[in-house]
Structure 1
Amino acid sequence: MSNTAYPQLEQLLSGYFHQDWCEDHDTDGEVLTDYVQSTWRDEVMQSIDQLDRYLRDHPTELLAAFERDFTPMVVIGEGDDEARRWLQSARDQLAAQLESAPVRPGAEN
């Protein structure tokens, strides 16, 4: 499913947490690192913003909404609390690694 309200989040989930991600990476943290290192910094920033917005937009029934909206190949929890912690952790990991994301040519830091 394409989720036009969260295009960068969709790219992260479908492009990096694809069906074979476990063969390429040992942990979801490694996937996030790969994403940061191979994605323009402004797009990583958009992913962080979209994670924040997604969490705000789904104060209840988060896990069901996430699975419906993104049909990811990663398990983010068995309930809303675990899903919220996973998404917050993913956001925090992206933010912590932001400086290692490449800067688009011609873009300011």
Structure 2
Amino acid sequence: MNVSYPNLDEFLGTYFHQDWREDEPTADRIVNKYLSEWPRDDALLALRELENLLSENYGDAKLRELLDEMGCYYDPLGDAMTCASWLSGIREKMTTQLLE
């Protein structure tokens, strides 16, 4: 578990597990599944941690390393995205669904 981002670690490691495509066919649908199933307060904590992570301005190699540490098996490169752009998209979706 990544102690700096425990809620984000739980989200990404739980929902983007090794066989995540068996649950949903796309990463976007996995995020929707998380937001519909997970307690709102915990999702808000994950959102705050995601914002903190993105504010660190890590390069893609470091973000990939962190995603690996969290047990996230999704690879944004497969969808022609960087880790930063993928995580930014998740942040936007979470912000829209949790705060607006």
**Superposition TM-score tier, normalisation by shorter sequence:** 0.7 to 0.9
Q: Deviations over 1:21-78 (max 9, x none)?
A: 1011011111111111111111111111111111122433443432453241101238
TM-score, normalization: structure 2?
Answer: 0.82
**Structure 1 residue 29 corresponds to structure 2 residue 28:** yes
Alignment match, 1:74: 74
Identity of matched residues, %: 26
- Could you say what secondary structure the match of 1:89 adopts? helix
After superposition, the Cα gap between the structure-2 partners of 1:33 and 1:67, relative to the gap in structure 1 and judged at 3 Å, is closer
Aligned pair count?
A: 96
User: Unaligned regions of 5+ residues in structure 2, if any?
Assistant: none
TM-score, normalization: structure 1?
Answer: 0.76
User: Unaligned regions of 5+ residues in structure 1, if any?
Assistant: 100-109
